[in-house]
Amino acid sequence: MSPISVKRVLISECVDPCCKALLQESGIEVTEKQQMSREELIAEIQNYDGLVVRSATKVTADVINAGSNLKIIGRAGTGVDNVDVEAATKRGIIVMNTPSGNTLSAAELTCALIMSLSRNIPQAVMSMKDGKWDRKKFMGAELFGKVLGIVGLGRIGKEVATRMQSFGMKTIGYDPITPPEVSASWGVEQMTLDQLWPQCDYITVHTPLMPSTTGLLNDASFAKCKKGVKVVNCARGGIIDEAALFRALESGQCGGAGLDVFVEEPPKHQALINHPNVICCPHLGASTREAQARCGKDIAVQIVEMVTGKALVGAVNAQVLASTFSPDSQQWIRLGESMGRVVRACTASKQPYSQVHVTSIGESLRKCTGFLSSAAVVGLLTEASQTGPNLVNALPLAAETGITVKSSHEESCEHEAMVLQVSVNGCSFRAVGSVQGSNPVLLEFNRSVFRQPVPLTGHLLFFRATGSTEILLSVTGALAAAGVELQFFSTSGASSGEHWHCMGMSSLLSDIGVLKPLAKEAAQLTL
C-alpha cells in the first residue's frame, strides 16, 4: 500500500502532549481544539486529513461525511465505541485504536475494585469521614481461596488473572477466541458460561460491547450464580444489564458491584449508583498519567508509521491492509487494480457485475489473497462509484452494489500469478496477471494467452478480432490516421479464430469508434 498523505491532524480532546510533538516532528500540522460541539466539529473537520480522539468525542456519520479530506481517525485508547466505524469504512477512512495503551491501568483498577468489594474500603472511608467508628459494620472477606471468573481473556483479562492469583484466588474464565491451552499457560481454566456462573465468588468482565455481549450478565445468569456473588465492570457499560444488577443487589443475589462504566455516561440510574453495595467510578480505567502518555504516544507513532508506509498497527476496519506495507506488496496491489481496470474497460457495455472471484497462485501469495481481492474491486469500481473506492472500502462498496466477492488460493512451485474472474450480465471474463521484476503484466485475457506479457502501464488498446496480418495493418493504419503512435503490440498465440490483442499507444484515440468496422470489441484505458 502506498503511503497515505496526512498533512493536517485535529486533536479534539485532552491527549498527552507527546502525541502532538511526535506528529509535528514528522512534518504533520497539528491543531488542538477541545470541547467542541457537534456542530463545531462538523464545521471544523473538513479542514483535516486526520482526527485524534479519546472517548468523549462522538465521531458520528455526520461528522465523518463532513470530513471530505479525512483519511484516518485515531482513538487514543481501547475500543472505538464512539466512532461510527461502518460509516468510516464506507468512506474509505482508516479507524485505528491503541489496544494495549491502557491495559495495565484498566487491569489495576479492576483489581482495586475487587479488593475494595472484599473489604468494603470506600464505605468504611466515608463512614470515618462522617465521624463514625463502625468496625463490625464493615466486616469483609479474604480473597485467598476464592474463585474469580474472568469473562474475556484478552490483554486486560490476562493481566487481572496473574495479579489476582498472587492473592491466592483460583481463576477460571470464558473466551470464544483465546485457545484454552493459551489461557491455561497463565493459570486460567476455560469453561462455558453455564459452567462458570455457579462457581464464582467474584466475576469481572473484559469483553468488547457487541450484540453478543450486551446484557451478558442478566436476570437469568445472575440466577445461576452463587448467592452474594460480587461483580466488576471496567470494560464497557451494558455488558452487565444495569436493571438486572439492581434487582440482584436488592434481593441479595449479588453481594456487591464495582462499576467504572455505564450504559449512559454520566449515568442516570441513580438508584443503582446510590446502592450501599455499589462502588462506582467515573470511567477511570485509562485515567492514569502512564496510560495517557502511552496511548498518546502509541496513536501518534501508529499514524506516522502509516503515513511513511512502514506499518499499519491498530486498524480496526482495515486489517487487510496490514500485509500491504512491504515493497513487494505494492506491485501486486498495482497488478490487482490494473487488472480490475482492464476488465472494467472491456466490459463497459455489459455491466453490472454480479460476481468477482480472485485466485492467488504461489506460496508467497498465500497471505495476499485479501488485499488482491480488494485491489481488483478498486479497479472494477473506479469511476463507477462516487465514493472513491480504496482498499479500505472496496469490499463493503461491492456488497452494497450487489457484487459477491470470493477469493481462493492455489499452491504452485513454478510461478506466482493472480487470476481475476468476473461475471457480468450473464457473461464471464477471466484475466491472468503477474509481476515480472517490479512491473505488473497481463498474461492472459478471456482465454487469449499473449505471446509477450502486456505491461500494465501507459495508454493501452484492447480489441477482439481474428488474428491476421490484415487486421494488424488496418488497426495501425487507423492509429496513424488519428496521429497516434504504436509503441508495442502483443497478440495471442492462437493461430485461428477470434482472440484478444493489445497495443501500447502514445495517447488514447479521440474516437475509438473508428475501430468498429475492424474489431468485434474494443476498449482503451490509461494505467
Domain CATH for 169: 3.40.50.720
Domain boundary residue, one of 412, 446, 480: 446
Q: Specify the range with the lowest mean pLDDT, choosing from 28-42, 246-260, 371-385.
A: 371-385
Whether residues 266 and 331 fall in one domain: no
Instruction: Select the highest-mean-pLDDT range: 240-249, 358-367, 375-384.
Output: 240-249
> Is 10 in a helix, a strand, or coil?
strand
54, 91, 206, 236: the active-site residue = 236
Q: For the chain, what is the mean pLDDT? A: 92
What CA–CA distance (Å, rounded) separates 312 from 132? 56
pLDDT tens digits, residue range 466-496?
A: 877 788 889 999 999 999 999 999 988 776 6
pLDDT tens digits, residue range 70-114?
A: 999 999 998 888 999 999 999 999 999 998 899 999 999 999 999
The reply to whether 242 falls in a domain is yes
The reply to whether 474 falls in a domain is yes
pLDDT tens digits, residue range 112-128?
A: 999 999 999 999 999 99
Whether residues 107 and 95 fall in one domain: no
Domain boundary residue, one of 426, 446, 466: 446
User: Are 367 and 326 a contacting pair, CB within 8 Å?
Assistant: no
What CA–CA distance (Å, rounded) separates 92 from 389? 7
Whether residues 433 and 458 fall in one domain: no
How many structural domains are present in the chain?
Answer: 4
The reply to whether 2 falls in a domain is no
pLDDT tens digits, residue range 292-349?
A: 999 999 999 999 999 988 888 899 988 777 666 666 788 999 999 999 999 999 998 7
- Write down the pLDDT at residue 327: 66
Q: Is the dihedral of CA 317, 321, 323, 326 positive or negative?
A: negative
pLDDT tens digits, residue range 184-212?
A: 999 999 999 999 999 999 999 999 888 99
The reply to whether 321 falls in a domain is no
The reply to whether 435 falls in a domain is yes
Taking 50 as the threshold, does the pLDDT of residue 1 lie above it? Answer: no
Whether residues 168 and 123 fall in one domain: yes
* Catalytic residue flag (residue 447): no
| For range 435-453, the mean pLDDT | 93
- Write down the pLDDT at residue 38: 94
Whether residues 271 and 301 fall in one domain: no
The reply to whether 141 falls in a domain is yes
| For range 276-286, the mean pLDDT | 96
Domain boundary residue, one of 415, 446, 477: 446
Whether residues 122 and 85 fall in one domain: no
The share of the chain scoring above pLDDT 90, in percent, equals 78
Whether residues 175 and 151 fall in one domain: yes
The reply to whether 235 falls in a domain is yes
pLDDT tens digits, residue range 224-277?
A: 999 999 999 999 999 999 999 999 999 999 999 999 999 999 998 899 999 999
The reply to whether 398 falls in a domain is yes
Whether residues 306 and 369 fall in one domain: no
54, 283, 344, 499: the active-site residue = 283
Compute the chain's Rg from CA coordinates. 30
Whether residues 197 and 214 fall in one domain: yes
* Catalytic residue flag (residue 400): no
CATH number, domain of 466, equals 3.30.70.260
Following DSSP, what letter does each residue of 331-393 receive, concatenated? HHHHHHHHHHHHHHHHTTTTPPEEEEEEEEESGGGTTTHHHHHHHHHHHHHTTT-SS---TTT
250, 265, 363, 383: the active-site residue = 265
Taking 60 as the threshold, does the pLDDT of residue 426 lie above it? Answer: yes
- Write down the pLDDT at residue 325: 65
Cis before 276 (ω within 30): no
- Write down the pLDDT at residue 11: 98
* Catalytic residue flag (residue 265): yes
Taking 60 as the threshold, does the pLDDT of residue 413 lie above it? Answer: yes
CATH number, domain of 431, equals 3.30.1330.90
- Write down the pLDDT at residue 382: 82
Whether residues 371 and 230 fall in one domain: no
Whether residues 16 and 67 fall in one domain: yes
Strands (E), 196-321: 202-205, 229-233, 254-259, 278-280
Range of the domain at 359: 326-446
Whether residues 336 and 456 fall in one domain: no
Taking 90 as the threshold, does the pLDDT of residue 387 lie above it? Answer: no
What CA–CA distance (Å, rounded) separates 299 from 95? 11
